[in-house]
Amino acid sequence: STKPTISALFCSSPPMLATVLPRCARGYATKAVSTVYANSWMPLLRPHGVEERHVLQTYGPIITNERKEKIERVIANKILPFSMVLEGLYDIGNIAAAVRSAEGFGLHHFHVVNCHKMKQNKNSRASAGAERWMDLSFWDQSDDCFRQLRARGFRIAIADCGPDAISVHDLDWSIPTAVVVGNEFRGLSPEVRAAADVRLTIPMRGFVQSFNVSVASAVIMHTASRAILAKGYPGPSAEESLAMRAEFYARVSIPASPESDGALYAQRILEAHSRLAPGR
């Protein structure tokens, strides 16, 4: 069957992927946060008023026990007090590769800021479908993104080679942190640099003093995830686990139809959530 490519999902305007679940849409931070998740690292807005139990009751019976067990293992391994932000990237392949690494390392939140001038690559498969399982947010401005992250308890760290940068191995990862990586050529914008709470760097031992964007992101995610787990991170709370369980059940149960493109795939999920809404 034909599924929407990462390129189609990211490069449409607005991004198709941003409509797959309403809480991934632009401007999400301006909406009211549900009371249940007000102090959570993943404050969910129930799409169309749908409660998680309705999603689980509807899709649970048609999901195999093997798939349910896999979903539970993934949820238990999620690392929520850590997020990645990509700012102004040009090559969509780098974004797709970073999303794939993030999903593999157990991250759930991923932010893409001001990446409207990306190189189009309709055949990019670097994400390997990881975008289906991530909480992706798209932003026009970095300050809007940072405002939401700080409201959720995150500090902003930037990947930088400056003399005052802290080694990625020495940073205190017990503090919820969102790491920002910048454009392949220009690096981070002045606005992002000015907004940073901390600067971090990856120690280099060769003549070349920088990694590819997706490689640098993967190194940071690997280091951070290991450090967070070593500090005794207990895993997602019961409420956070319930929210992800409902989300994954919906995503597993609504595959893209053979004739679909990204827009139709997204619309089917929205319609399914709408049918589940109480009183509809």
Sheet containing 109-113: give its strands across.
135-139, 109-113, 82-87, 177-181, 155-159, 198-201, 166-167
* pLDDT per position as a tens digit, 53-90: 777 888 889 899 999 999 999 999 999 999 999 998 88
Q: What is the pLDDT of residue 5?
A: 42
Least confident of 112-121, 158-167, 251-260: 251-260
Q: Which residue has the higher pLDDT, 127 or 124?
A: 127
Return the pLDDT at 254. Answer: 66
Decide: 261 and 4 in contact? Cβ < 8 Å: yes
Q: In this structure, which amino acid lies at residue 222?
A: H
Q: Is the pLDDT of residue 266 over 80?
A: no
Amino acid at 185: F
User: pTM for this structure?
Assistant: 0.75
What pLDDT, on the 0 to 100 scale, is given for residue 94? 86
pLDDT tens by residue, 28-61:
222 332 333 333 334 343 444 457 777 788 888 9
Angstrom distance (rounded) from CA 181 to CA 278: 41
Q: What is the pLDDT, as a whole number, of residue 247?
A: 80
Region 260-280: mean pLDDT is 48
The rounded distance, in Å, linking the Cα atoms of 263 and 9 is 8
Mean pLDDT of 138-158: 90
**Alpha-carbon span 146 to 219, nearest angstrom:** 22
By percentage, how much of the chain surpasses pLDDT 90? 38
State the pLDDT at residue 275: 55
Q: Is the pLDDT of residue 120 over 70?
A: no
Q: What confidence tier does 163 reach under pLDDT thresholds 50, 70, 90?
A: confident
Q: Is the pLDDT of residue 126 over 90?
A: no
Q: What's 238-250 look like in SS3?
A: HHHHHHHHHHHHH
Please state, in angstroms and rounded to a whole number, the distance separating the CA atoms of residues 42 and 264. Answer: 26
Residues 248, 254, 255, 259, CA torsion sign: negative
DSSP H/E element including 263? helix 262-276
